[in-house]
Amino acid sequence: MKIHQISTILFAILTLFFGNVLSAQTVRKTAQGINFSAQQLDISVQFYSSNTVRIYKTPKGRPYVKTSLAVTAKPEKTALIFAQKGKNYMIKSKEIQVDVNTETGGVYFSDLSGKQLLHEKDYGTQFSALNDGGTPSFKVRTGFLLDKDEAIFGVGQILDNKFNRRNSAHHLQNENMSTYSPFFHSVKGYAVFWDNYSISEFNDNPQELSFESLGHCSDYYFMYGGNADGVISKIRALTGKAPMLPLWAYGFFQSKERYNTQEESLDVVKKYRELKVPLDVIIQDWRYWPEFNKTDSAWNSQSFDQLRFPNPKKWVDDIHQLNAKLLIVTWPGFGPKTAQRKEFDSKNMIINFDTWPPNSGARPYDVFNPQALNIYWKYLNKGIFSHIGNDGWWLDSTEPDHINKKDSDFNLPTNLGSYRSVKNGFSLMHNKGIATHQRETNDQKRVVILTRSGFVGQQLYGSNTWSGDVNSTWDMLEKQIPAALNYTLIGIPNWNSDIGGFFAGRWRKGGGNKNPEFQELYVRWMQFGTFSPMMRSHGTDLPREIWNFGEKGSWCFDAQEKMIKLRYRLLPYIYSTSWDVSRNDGTFMRPLMMDFAKDKKTHDLGNQYLFGRSLMVSPVTKYQVKKWPVYLPKTSGWYNFWTNQFIEGGKTIDTDAPIEIVPLYVKAGSIIPLGPDVQYASEKKWDSLDISIYAGADGKFILYEDEGDNYNYEKGAFSEITFLWSDDNKTLNISNRKGSFKGMLNTRKFNLRLISKSAKAQETRSIAYDGSQISIKF
Q: What are the φ/ψ torsions at residue 519 (nearest 5 degrees)? A: -60, -45
Closest CA to 178 of 155, 198, 158, 200: 158
Q: What are the φ/ψ torsions at residue 125 (nearest 5 degrees)? A: -110, 130
Q: What are the φ/ψ torsions at residue 395 (nearest 5 degrees)? A: -95, 100
Instruction: DSSP for 58-105, please give it.
Output: EETT-------SS----PPP---EEEEETTEEEEE-SSEEEEEETTT-
Residue 434 identity (one-letter amino acid): I
Among residues 257, 354, 396, 706, the one annotated as catalytic is 396
- Residue 396 known to be catalytic: yes
Axis-axis angle for helices 516-530, 555-569 (nearest 10): 0
Closest CA to 66 of 93, 42, 50, 102: 42
| Helix ranges restricted to H, 277-404 | 312-321, 339-346, 370-380, 386-388
- Rg of the chain taking only CA atoms, in angstroms: 27
Instruction: Return the biggest CA–CA distance within the chain.
Output: 83
CB 647 within 8 A of CB 664: no
Say which DSSP state 350 is in: B
Measured between alpha carbons, how far is residue 82 from residues 10, 20, 75, 98, 357 in Å?
A: 9, 12, 18, 10, 58
Find the Cα–Cα–Cα–Cα dihedral 444, 449, 454, 456, rounded to 10°: 20
Q: Give CA–CA dist 492/489, Å, rounded.
A: 7
Among residues 399, 401, 478, 580, the one annotated as catalytic is 399
Among residues 42, 229, 469, 709, the one annotated as catalytic is 469
Closest CA to 273 of 288, 252, 258: 252
Residue 663 preceded by cis peptide, ω within 30: no
Burial (CB < 10 A; 0-12, 13-18, 19+), residue 468, is: buried
CB 477 within 8 A of CB 524: yes
Contacts of residue 321, Cβ cutoff 8 Å, sequence gap at least 6: none
Strands 52-59 and 41-47: antiparallel
- Residue 305 known to be catalytic: no
**Can you tell me whether residue 766 is helix, strand or coil?**
strand
Closest CA to 543 of 581, 505, 576: 505
- Residue 219 known to be catalytic: no
**HEC sequence for 466-531:** ECCCCECCHHHHHHHHHHHHHHHCCCCCCEECCECCCECHHHCCCCHHHCHHHHHHHHHHHHHHHC
**Can you tell me whether residue 21 is helix, strand or coil?**
helix
Q: How far is CA 691 from the centre of its chain?
A: 28
Q: Which residues are catalytic?
A: 396, 399, 469
